[in-house]
Amino acid sequence: MKQPNWIVLPIWNCQHLTRDAITSCLEQNIGNVQVLCVIDKGSDGVAHWLRTLHPKVQVIEMPGCGVSKAWNAALSHVFDRGGAAAALVVNSDVRLRADAYRRLYADGGQFVTCVGTSSGAKFPGGEPSGQKRPHPDFSCFLLRDTCWRSVGHFDDNMRIYCSDGDYHLRMRKAGISAYCLDLPFWHYASGTLKQAEPEDRERILKIAGEDREAFRKKWGVEMGSGAYYELFGKKEKECDDLHDSQPL
Confidence of residue 240 (pLDDT cuts 50, 70, 90): very low
Q: How far is CA 40 from CA 87, 103, 201, in A?
A: 20, 29, 14
Higher pLDDT pick, 189 / 155:
155
pLDDT at 245: 43
Residue 236 lies in a domain: no
- Give the closest residue to 75 by CA, choosing from 36, 27, 26: 36
55 prior amide bond cis, ω within 30:
yes
pLDDT value, residue 123: 65
Within-domain flag for 150 = yes
pLDDT of the residue at 243? 44
Amino acid sitting at position 228: Y
Task: Say how far apart CA 36 and CA 7 lie, in whole Å.
Answer: 6
**Domain limits at 140?**
5-230
Residue 181 lies in a domain: yes
Whether 209 maps to a domain, the answer reads: yes
DSSP SS3 for 53 = coil
Residue 109: its pLDDT value, please? 97
Residue 242 lies in a domain: no
Beta bridge partner(s), residue 34: 6
241 within a domain of the structure (yes/no): no
CATH value at residue 147 = 3.90.550.10
Domain count, the chain: 1
Residue 177's contacts (CB-CB under 8 Å, 6 or more residues apart) are 109, 110, 111, 134, 171
Are β-strands 140-144 and 86-90 bridged in parallel, bridged antiparallel, or unpaired?
antiparallel
Q: Is the dihedral of CA 52, 57, 59, 65 positive or negative?
A: negative
- Longest CA–CA span in the chain (Å) reads 49
Please name the residues in contact with 12: beta carbons below 8 A apart, sequence gap of 6 or more.
Answer: 39, 40, 41, 92, 192, 196, 247
Give the least confident one: 100-109, 110-119, 156-165: 110-119
Residue 248 lies in a domain: no
Task: Assess if residue 239 is contained within a domain.
Answer: no
pLDDT at residue 119 greater than cutoff 50 = yes
Is the separation of the CB atoms in 104 and 114 below 8 Å?
Answer: yes
Q: In whole angstroms, how large is the CA radius of gyration of the chain?
A: 17
